């Protein structure tokens, strides 16, 4: 491929990306595109995002990417979602409302932090239950030992112990 053709392709990549995504995407995409046209007057082609908008964008998963947030993704859809977030913030919507808006359109999987409701509690409580189970096992282990250990080994007088420990290096080797 010639250098010129190559450069042209590089310039076109955004367009190509856009049309490729449309075919595989949920109607939510159309909504976002429509919104961005609607607010075309207010939202410039590119508007600097406030820290709060970036924060919210980082709470959302880019629906067309693999494991990237809307903040970090370079896809066209993510760009439009970012602009929409900024616009919604400008019109006074709260963080929760904005997240809810995207969750309604793209499903909960768009949220990077699953909500604390319904069966998602299983997710949130899982590690707690796991830790509690571990602690319980440990307590049972100590309990059983306590019951079994009493009277098995002869108690050593502290002076004797100190004398022996003085003869040994920390790792138990004879000096």
Quick check: 71 and 58 in contact, CB under 8 A? yes
Task: Identify residues 49-108 at the interface with another protein (CB under 8 A).
Answer: 49, 51, 54, 58-59, 61, 66-69, 71-72, 74, 79, 107-108
Residue 64, token pair as written in the block = 């067309």
Going by C-alpha positions, the residue among 34, 51, 122 that lies closest to residue 89 is 51
Residue 92 beta carbon to another protein: minimum distance, rounded to whole angstroms:
21
- Residue 33 CB burial class (10 angstroms; 0-12, 13-18, ≥19): middle
Task: Identify residues 1-30 at the interface with another protein (CB under 8 A).
Answer: 1, 3, 6-7, 9-10, 13, 16-17, 20
Going by C-alpha positions, the residue among 115, 93, 101 that lies closest to residue 32 is 101
Residue 31 beta carbon to another protein: minimum distance, rounded to whole angstroms:
19
- DSSP for residue 153: S
Which residues of the shown chain bind another protein in the complex (CB under 8 A)?
A: 1, 3, 6-7, 9-10, 13, 16-17, 20, 45-49, 51, 54, 58-59, 61, 66-69, 71-72, 74, 79, 107-114, 119-120, 122-124, 126-127, 130-131, 134-135, 138, 141-142, 145, 148-149, 152-153, 158, 169-173, 175
């Amino acid at each position: 491929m010639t250098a010129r053709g190559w450069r042209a392709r590089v310039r076109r990549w955004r367009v190509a990306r856009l049309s490729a995504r449309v075919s595989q995407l949920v109607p939510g995409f159309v909504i976002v595109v429509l919104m961005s046209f609607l607010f075309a007057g207010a939202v410039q082609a590119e508007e600097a995002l406030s820290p709060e908008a970036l924060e919210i964008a980082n709470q959302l998963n880019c629906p067309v990417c693999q494991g990237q947030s809307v903040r970090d993704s370079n896809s066209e859809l993510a760009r439009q979602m970012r602009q929409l977030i900024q616009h919604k913030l400008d019109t006074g919507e709260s963080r929760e409302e904005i997240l809810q808006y995207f969750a309604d359109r793209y499903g909960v999987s768009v949220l990077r932090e699953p909500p604390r409701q319904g069966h998602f509690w299983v997710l949130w409580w899982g590690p707690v239950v796991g830790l509690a189970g571990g602690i319980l096992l440990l307590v049972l282990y100590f309990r059983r030992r306590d019951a079994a250990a009493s009277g098995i080994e002869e108690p050593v007088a502290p002076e004797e112990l100190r004398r022996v420990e003085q003869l040994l290096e920390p790792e138990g080797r004879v000096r």
